[in-house]
Amino acid sequence: MEKDFIAVMEAPGVVKLEPMEIKPLKPNQVRIEVKYCSICGSDLHIYKGKHPYAKLPVALGHELSGIINELGSEVKNLKIGQKVVVEPVYKCGICEACRRGNYCFCEQLSFQYRKGNGAMRKYFTIEEECVFPISEDISFDIASLIEPLAVAVHAVRKADVRMGETVLVMGCGAIGLLVTALCAKVGASKVIAADQIYSRLELAKELGATDTINTKEINIKEAVKSITGSGVDKSIECVGIESTFMACLECLNMGGVATVLGIFENPEVKLTAPLIVARELTIRGSQAYCWDFKTAIEMATKVDLGKLLTHKFPMSEIQKAMDIATDRKEGAIKVSLYPDW
């Protein structure tokens, strides 16, 4: 098998394709020929050198789709040629959380790219249990968005959004848009999307938002009260900054629930404790996924993922792709790349 290249973020704003050797498979591993790998919001934090859990240099890429190219000797449930997506988490498998099936609480939970196993390459290797076959009807470029859809599935489940409830989604990047779409699908009576970019707010409406708020122009607390008459039952923070986190709390009804999944480049947040105590608010965290991939695969045919895919590039142009993905003037939502060697 030929040699491969892998994308590595060497310094803030500098990404390169580095040659790598393709190693033999372990018995329980699968090799996948990558067809598309999309840029994640976490990749953009890495690009700025501000990801709190990924120190440079680090491999890039974990939102991938492809075809099984080779199977380890003990792999039983997959076949060469199958169209697949990957759950790219790393878990120990032996801690109490893993043994109970709650691997999202694993003491060593991480992601493959943080362990050097990035998916911005032609051949990606991972254990069989992390590989999920998908329908031939789903195109490879769209399939690369199933991983972020699984993140949104987990968040909406964690928020426990119910039929008839009112929800505020703070931030209309890719994850916020997917969360918006799923809240609408589960029957929320009001899904309010908030952002500072009109094009993203328009896209949120197309995906199911009943109302939108441009927080650059309107006070969000007043706008939410105008829409709902009080506040919202649930809020979901998809940005990762103190002001949006506080807005998610301030816009809640008494007894409301705020779920936080944004990546905070500045991790320290000042909370107004009496606000939480007097209003009996609940704050929940949501990280990645846990038994959510099969649901995400099912929902991939019910959410118009193609609306999010704004740019495609060959991997040889990854520097250009990352520059565009981080430049708000370019209007990028999801940027996906394909190997061209």
Q: What is the pLDDT of residues 176-193, one digit of tens each?
A: 999 999 999 999 999 999
Q: What is the pLDDT of residues 77-114, one digit of tens each?
A: 999 999 999 999 999 999 999 999 999 999 899 999 99
Q: What is the pLDDT of residues 202-257, one digit of tens each?
A: 999 999 999 999 999 999 999 999 999 999 999 999 999 999 999 999 999 999 99
- DSSP code string of 135-150: -TTS-HHHHTTHHHHH
| Cβ(286)–Cβ(159) below 8 Å | yes
Q: Is cis: bond before 57, omega within 30 of 0? A: yes
Query: Which sign, positive or negative, has the C-alpha torsion 303, 304, 305, 308?
Result: negative
How far apart, in whole angstroms, are the C-alpha atoms of residue 115 and residue 177?
Answer: 29
pLDDT score recorded for residue 1: 55
Token pair 């030929």: residue: 2
Within 8 A by CB and 6+ apart from 102, the residues are: 290
How far apart, in whole angstroms, are the C-alpha atoms of residue 131 and residue 94?
Answer: 20
pLDDT score recorded for residue 195: 98
Q: At what angle do helices 198-206 and 174-185 cross, to 10 degrees?
A: 30
How far apart, in whole angstroms, are the C-alpha atoms of residue 147 and residue 260?
Answer: 18
Token pair 């697949």: residue: 84
Q: What is the pLDDT of residues 28-87, one digit of tens each?
A: 999 999 999 999 988 998 988 888 888 889 999 999 999 999 999 999 999 999 999 999
Q: What is the pLDDT of residues 108-167, one digit of tens each?
A: 999 999 999 999 999 999 999 999 999 999 999 999 999 999 999 999 999 999 999 999
Max CA distance (Å), the chain: 64
How far apart, in whole angstroms, are the C-alpha atoms of residue 11 and residue 99?
Answer: 38
- DSSP code string of 197-215: -HHHHHHHHHTT-SEEEET
Apex CA 132: angle with CA 18 and CA 41, to 5°? 50
Which residue type is seen at 25? L
